[in-house]
Amino acid sequence: MASPKIILYTNHNCPWAHRAHIALAELNLPFEEEIIDLSVPRTPEYLKINPRGLVPSISYNGEIITESAIVSQFLADAHPSHLLPVSNAEGGALRRARINFFVDTFFTKAFPLFIKSFSAPEEEVEGLGTQFAEIASKELEPLLSDAKPFFGGSDKLTLAEVLTGSFVIRVLTLPEKGVLPKSYVASLPEKAPNFYKWAQVVSAHPSVNGIYDVDTIAENTKNRIAKLRAQSK
């Protein structure tokens, strides 16, 4: 079967676009890459591809697909693999449901605290890191009890890691760069050992860290935080 012609419209600093990179790397799909500058207004040419102006977008054999979760899900469905079983496989529908629940839990319970840290007053950020660890312990820890080392006992990345990995790596590395308080990770080994071990393995995986330039991400995030805090005054 011939490989599809894929053009990925992306920005390496965007964690949402990063999801598509992880999926493509795991599926070993060749693609062309077009970098979209997110610091300036989108070009008319790109707005024809994605009127929302967001990344990622992909052209898949000429069909345009947008929104990071939809792009990643589409790639996993179009190319059945270790990432995601087909729904009619034995246990497939249940596994897909469990992956969806884990991803939903991450983004509705833990992720909001991470985002809030960017705009919260400095004196509140330390506490947000502590709350993140508590939420990880309560909500995510039980869902990773069988990680070996990836979600659901898998020895390879799954769609759960594709959709969360680009954010997990930021949670672990930005405190090391002084962008976020160390409270984000300091108590994880004790309070959420399953989550912490899983997050470390995910962050070390080549498909996850392949495009991740921690120094550039840290600098960009510092600038974003400074701008958001200045706007809130």
CA distance 228 to 233: 9
pLDDT of residue 1: 57
How many percent of the chain have pLDDT more than 90? 84
Quick one: average pLDDT of 209-233? 88
Q: What would the pLDDT profile of 166-207 be if each residue is shown by its tens digit?
A: 999 999 999 999 998 888 999 999 999 999 999 999 999 999
Omega cis (within 30) before 149: yes
Domains of the chain, by residue range, sit at 6-78, 92-231
Omega cis (within 30) before 175: no
Q: 83 vs 23, 45, 62, 99, CA distance in Å? A: 8, 33, 24, 10
pLDDT of residue 230: 77
User: Looking up tokens 């995510």, which residue turns up?
Assistant: 140
Quick one: average pLDDT of 6-17? 98
pLDDT of residue 18: 98
CA distance 158 to 124: 34
DSSP state of 67: S
CATH number of 6-78: 3.40.30.10
How many percent of the chain have pLDDT more than 70? 99
Which pTM was predicted?
0.95
Q: What would the pLDDT profile of 115-146 be if each residue is shown by its tens digit?
A: 998 888 888 888 999 999 999 999 999 999 99
Burial class (CB within 10 angstroms; exposed 0-12, middle 13-18, buried 19+) of 157: buried
- Nearest partner of 60 among 43, 79, 45, 36, judged by Cα: 79
CATH fold label, 92-231: Glutathione S-transferase Yfyf (Class Pi); Chain A, domain 2 (1.20.1050)
Q: What is the Cβ-side half-sphere exposure of residue 33, based on CA atoms within 13 angstroms?
A: 14
Q: Give the list of residues 6+ apart from residue 56 with CB closer than 8 angstroms, or none.
A: 8, 9, 10, 14, 16, 17, 19, 20, 66, 68, 71
Q: Give the list of residues 6+ apart from residue 25 with CB closer than 8 angstroms, or none.
A: 206, 207, 210
